[in-house]
Structure 1
Amino acid sequence: MRNTSTSAEASEAGGSTAVEPPESPAPAKRPAAQGRKALLSGLASAAVVIAGAGAMVAAGSALPQPVSSRAVPAGESAVPAGSSVGVCPGPARLLEGTEAGTDPQFSPESETAASSVTGAVLSAGGVLPASRLSDLSGTTTVEIAKEQARSGVAGGPQELLAGVVAGRSVDQVSVLSADALANQKASAAAAMKFTATDGDLQGTAAANCLQPANDQWLVGASTTVGRTSVLVLTNASTTPATVSLELFGSAGQIQAPGSRGLLVAPGSSRPVVLAGLAPGEGQLSVHVRSAGGPVAAFIQQSVLRGLTPGGVDFIAPGAAPAVRQVMTGVDIQDPGQVAAVTGRSGYEDAGPALQLTVPGPSDAVVEVKLYGRDGQKALPNGGVITAKAGTATEIPLAGVPAGHYTVVASSDVTFVAATRVTRGLQDNRAADVAWAASGARLGSQHVVPVPQGGQRHFVFGALDSRATITYSAITADGKVRAASTADIAGGTTASIAIPDKAEDSDVVGYVVSASGDAAYGALLLQQDGRDDVSSLAFLSAAAGQETVPVTLSY
Structure 2
Amino acid sequence: MHNDAPGSAPTAGKTTTAAVRDQDATAGAPAVANAPEPARPAARRTPSREMLAGLVSAVAILAAAGGIVAADSFAPQPAGTRGIPAALASVPAGANVGVCPGPARLLEGTEAGTDPQFSPESATAKSVVTGAVLSAPGGVLPASQLSALNGTPAVEIAKGGGQPAQEAGPQDLKAGVLNGHSVNGATVLGAEAMAGQKPSAAGVLKYSATDGDLQGSAAANCTPPANDLWLAGASTTVGRTSVLVLSNASSTPATVSLELFGSKGQIQAPGSRGLLVAPGTTRSIVLAGLAPGEPQLSVHVRSAGGPVAAAIQQSVLRGLTPGGVDFIVPGAAPAARQVMTGLDIQDAGGISAITGKDGFGDAGPALTITVPGPSNAVVEVRIFGRDGQKALPSGGVVTAKAGSVTEISLAGVPAGHYTVSTSSDVSFVASARVTRGVNGEKASDVAWAASGVRLGSQHVVPVPQGGDRSLVVGVLENRATISYAPITADGRIRPAATADVAGGTTTSIKLPGTVEESAVVAYVVSASGDAAYGALLLQQEGRDDVSTLALMPAASGQEKVAVALGY
Which region of structure 1 is more displaced relative to structure 2, 409-418 or 92-101? 92-101
User: Hey, what's the Cα distance between the residues in 2 that align with 1:194 and 1:302?
Assistant: 13
User: Hey, what's the Cα distance between the residues in 1 that align with 2:256 and 2:112?
Assistant: 21
Say if 2:512 is the partner of 1:483. Answer: no
2:256 corresponds to which residue? 243
Q: 1:62: how far off?
A: 11
Q: 1:381: how far off?
A: 1.9
Residue of 95, 119, 124 corresponding to 1:112: 124
1:500 corresponds to which residue? 513
Q: Deviation string for 1:393-435 (max 9, x for gaps)?
A: 1000011100000011111100001000000011310000000
Say if 2:93 is the partner of 1:81. Answer: yes
Say if 2:86 is the partner of 1:94. Answer: no
- Residue aligned with 1:336, SS: helix
Amino acid at match of 1:295: V
Q: Deviation string for 1:451-497 (max 9, x for gaps)?
A: 11000000000001101110100110001110110100000000000
Amino acid at match of 2:82: R
1:65 corresponds to which residue? 75
Amino acid at match of 1:137: N
Say if 2:323 is the partner of 1:310. Answer: yes
User: Hey, what's the Cα distance between the residues in 1 that align with 2:417 and 2:460?
Assistant: 22
Residue of 461, 471, 478 corresponding to 2:484: 471
Q: Deviation string for 1:158-178 (max 9, x for gaps)?
A: 611000000111111111000
Query: Where does structure 1 lack aligned partners over 5 or more consecutive residues?
Result: 1-60
Q: 1:380: how far off?
A: 1.5
1:530 corresponds to which residue? 543
Change (3 A) 1:402 1:411: same
User: Hey, what's the Cα distance between the residues in 2 that align with 1:500 and 1:297?
Assistant: 30
Residue of 419, 432, 439 corresponding to 1:419: 432
Q: 1:504: how far off?
A: 1.5
User: Hey, what's the Cα distance between the residues in 2 that align with 1:120 and 1:221?
Assistant: 30
Q: Conserved in 1, the CA contact under 8 Å of 2:150 and 2:279?
A: no
* Superposed counterparts of 1:160-179, under 5 Å: 160-179=173-192
User: Hey, what's the Cα distance between the residues in 2 that align with 1:553 and 1:92?
Assistant: 51
Say if 2:449 is the partner of 1:439. Answer: no
Kindly report the root-mean-square deviation, in angstroms, between the aligned alpha carbons of the 2 structures. Answer: 1.3
Say if 2:286 is the partner of 1:286. Answer: no
2:27 corresponds to which residue? none
User: Hey, what's the Cα distance between the residues in 2 that align with 1:283 and 1:482?
Assistant: 44
* Superposed counterparts of 1:144-543, under 5 Å: 144-150=157-163, 153=165, 155-157=167-169, 159-543=172-556
Amino acid at match of 1:264: V
User: Hey, what's the Cα distance between the residues in 2 that align with 1:496 and 1:387?
Assistant: 34
Q: Conserved in 1, the CA contact under 8 Å of 2:140 and 2:160?
A: no
User: Hey, what's the Cα distance between the residues in 1 that align with 2:72 and 2:462?
Assistant: 70
Amino acid at match of 1:467: A
| TM-score normalised to structure 1 length | 0.88
- Residue aligned with 1:297, SS: strand
Q: Deviation string for 1:69-108 (max 9, x for gaps)?
A: 3344332110011111000010000011244410001111
- Residue aligned with 1:506, SS: strand
Q: Deviation string for 1:183-228 (max 9, x for gaps)?
A: 1111000000000000000100000000000001000000000000
Q: Conserved in 1, the CA contact under 8 Å of 2:141 and 2:162?
A: no
Amino acid at match of 1:90: G
User: Hey, what's the Cα distance between the residues in 2 that align with 1:299 and 1:356?
Assistant: 18
Q: Deviation string for 1:295-339 (max 9, x for gaps)?
A: 000000100000000000000000000010000000000001100
Change (3 A) 1:66 1:495: same
| TM-score normalised to structure 2 length | 0.86
Amino acid at match of 2:207: F
Q: 1:63: how far off?
A: 11
Count the aligned residue pairs: 493
User: Hey, what's the Cα distance between the residues in 1 that align with 2:162 and 2:104?
Assistant: 40
Which region of structure 1 is more displaced relative to structure 2, 108-117 or 72-81? 72-81
| Structure number with bigger Rg | 1
- Residue aligned with 2:288, SS: helix
Q: 1:137: how far off?
A: 2.1
User: Hey, what's the Cα distance between the residues in 1 that align with 2:189 and 2:238?
Assistant: 36
Q: 1:154: how far off?
A: 6.0
Q: 1:157: how far off?
A: 1.6
- Residue aligned with 1:338, SS: helix
Q: Percent identity?
A: 72
* Superposed counterparts of 1:36-75, under 5 Å: 64-68=74-78, 69-75=81-87
Amino acid at match of 1:87: V
Change (3 A) 1:410 1:154: closer
User: Hey, what's the Cα distance between the residues in 2 that align with 1:529 and 1:62?
Assistant: 84
Q: 1:64: how far off?
A: 4.1
User: Hey, what's the Cα distance between the residues in 1 that align with 2:110 and 2:261?
Assistant: 23
User: Hey, what's the Cα distance between the residues in 2 that align with 1:96 and 1:345?
Assistant: 25
User: Hey, what's the Cα distance between the residues in 2 that align with 1:196 and 1:492?
Assistant: 34
Q: Conserved in 1, the CA contact under 8 Å of 2:341 and 2:420?
A: yes
Change (3 A) 1:66 1:237: same
